[in-house]
């Protein structure tokens, strides 16, 4: 029963997150909307507060046009973003609530973002 409730809450949070996309994309011009109407939703992690080796913490990536929106940043979120080839500095982060399993990847997402997305030559001059 707890697992069902947890899944429902996670889906409800995702649905709430999806409801803000039209507001974020309201400034998109008609030309842009016609050339890139695709929107992709990727579950980066669906884990629980109890760490498991086979599941990363809760995190959802929504790619809408050129926007890269991440809802929640659970354990392993930056790893999954890198696996998908998403530059960390292009991500806009939204947090649905402040439970530890939804925010404990924020430090890894924010602190090295500029450093990891630079080439070796750029890092030498930083």
Parse the chain into domains and list their residue ranges: 2-124
Cα–Cα nearest to 66, from 102, 95, 27: 27
CATH 3.60.15.10 given to domain 2-124: yes
Tell me the catalytic residues.
101
Give me the pLDDT at residue 52, please: 84
Cα 41 to Cα 120: distance, rounded to the nearest angstrom: 31
Q: What is the dihedral of CA 11, 15, 20, 26, to 10 degrees?
A: 130
**Contact, 47 vs 74, CB < 8 A?**
yes
pTM over 0.75: no
Q: Enter the tokens of residue 64.
A: 């809408």
How many other CB atoms are there within 10 angstroms of residue 102's CB atom? 24
Give me the pLDDT at residue 72, please: 94
pLDDT beyond 50 at 124: no
């Amino acid at each position: 029963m707890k697992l069902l409730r947890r899944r429902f809450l996670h889906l409800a949070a995702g649905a709430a997150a999806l409801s803000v996309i039209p507001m974020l994309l309201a400034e998109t011009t008609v030309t842009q909307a016609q050339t890139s109407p695709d929107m992709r939703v990727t579950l980066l992690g669906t884990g629980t507060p109890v760490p498991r080796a086979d599941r990363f913490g809760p995190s959802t990536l929504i790619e809408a046009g050129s926007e890269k929106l991440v809802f929640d940043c659970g354990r392993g979120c930056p790893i999954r973003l890198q696996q998908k080839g998403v530059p960390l500095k292009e991500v806009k982060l939204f947090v649905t609530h402040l439970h530890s399993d939804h925010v404990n990847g924020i430090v890894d997402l924010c602190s090295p973002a500029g450093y990891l997305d630079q080439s070796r030559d750029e890092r030498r001059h930083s």
